A and B are shown apart, each in its own frame.
Chain A
Amino acid sequence: MNEVSYLKYEGKHNGLAGWLLSTDHKRIGVMYLAAMIVFFLTAVVFGLLMKFEMLTPGRTIMGPQTYNTLFTLHGVMMIFLFIIPGLPAIFGNFFLPIMLGAKDVAFPRINLLSWYFYIIGALMILASLLFGGGPIDTGWTFYVPYSLRTGTNVTFAVFAAFVLGFSSILTGLNFITTIHRMRAPGMNWFRMPLFAWGLYATAWIQLLATPILGITLLLIMLERIFGIGIFDPALGGDPLLYQHMFWIYSHPAVYIMILPAMGLVSEIIPTFSKKNIFGYGPIAMSSLAIAFVGYLVWGHHMFSTGISDTSRAIFSLLTFLVAIPSGVKVFNWVATLYKGSIDLRPPLLFVLIFIILFSIGGLTGLVLGSLNTDIHLTDTYFVVAHFHYVMFGGMGTLFFAALHYWFPKMFGKMYNEKIAAIGAWTFAIGFNVLYFPMFILGYLGMPRRYYDYLPEFRNLHVISTIGSWIMVTGIFIIVINLLKGFLKKEMITDINPWGGTTLEWTVPTPPPVENFDKIPVITRGPYERDEHK
């Protein structure tokens, strides 16, 4: 029975039901992938429309209310439906058990439940556009008091985010238990692949930060429905406490996005430089350090809101601390590449693009983290550029890297590598043309979230909009190329096309239902190479 690949397996249910009712972690991972690509591309279209509106001053294709709705939806969908769950839900589900030498996650049925929470939450967000007071226009942050006053469908959209939180929590719970209880014999903590370390640190944030967002959103709902006074200043509430609560979750959430991505880099670099990773221990520990420090810095989102000067100084100082473990990682990656026999295949190309984009994002983050410059730059395009470099340049680029790295293993098919490289370069060039002018615009004083601008900003906006077209062309090439590979008739059976050393490259392509015929016994570190090969 274990000869059959997970794609072809037929059990109690077949066809579509065989997927929708499957508790196989690999099928659940693929179902997340399918759903997320749809939501991601939808949100890309929203972003493209926004950039088109910014082509000329004044109204180009839409009015202010539509623009407010679009940036809200773009943010909500990208963040809650793609960036936060992306890597853990898709690739974590698919590969974590295999990398640990296990047959499935600890709680397979809860895993499926978590997918349903995700889909229900996502559909609710889309449904919130269609009824009630119209599409939400609060921005993805749902700041009070506006979110309590606006007539748009905030109550329902907020509930959708609450449901998505459940999905995230259950995934985290599952991964922590899996990592603690289901590692193969001989796989001690320091023989675990670094992607698993990234997921472990992430899972703790999912578990211990998401409930804060849950309760905060619940309170927004209760205030809107019953008029309970908690955050509403008219009823004695303190809107700044709302912002504290929101960012207590949402800042660590940034690390939910980036930690698995960083773990992935630590997988791809040793594979394509044919070397053991440099500094395994520091990389693993820096994941935990980033996860912890991530809880300490949320106040830097509130520097100009009127929080006390003492806390501003403390939060600013703590913010700079994040740079240390992040720097540890980058130095170790570069040291791994150094004197390696580098094979510049598409996954590595995406990783190198990531390192550059993420470094720009990280360094501009320091500009925003220091109090005096932040006063000048807060709520300008500089911030928009910064977080797109960090999140999209970070997690987004690595999402493509992961797809190209694991695609042959997941589907037993291969894409065209040349076209993938062309797509990657187009994406990278478009990305910089789109977002780099925003740094300058922000520095010059262009505020974010406006559908209109002063004529002197025109040239930079035009360049940025052209960049959006180039970048979307890149994404289009990448997606079509993968889709063509997926639809190919010919299967590949090569177990290890890249020469990787972790356990997923020891199982058949595509993996069989139970992953392993015999649970492997681990006798060496994840990136150590056999001499004879």
Chain B
Amino acid sequence: MKRFIALSSMLFVCLLAQANQLTMESVSEQILQAESLHQKARTVGHGWVITLKLIEQAKAALADDQLIKADELSKRALGTALASVTQSIKEKRVWRSRKPSS
């Protein structure tokens, strides 16, 4: 029981510390980065549905003052946006390999 309380306290302290490091500005910046990357992918026809969904959820969490949740969601949005841009760059190179040879 003592061990459980100790671990829970440590987790609480960690989460508190993380929350303290986060600011509205840093999370907003992350969302903006995700939006910018998503737009980049979108203009070449590689936008992903999930990215937009995550961005919207992150914005809603931020508006609701749920910083940790907004941070987590915006990081995920950034990840999927980056993956979609990577996909668009890679596909420019490899799409021809899929067509049957003439």
The answer to whether A and B come from one shared complex is no
Which B positions have Cβ atoms within 8 angstroms of A?
none
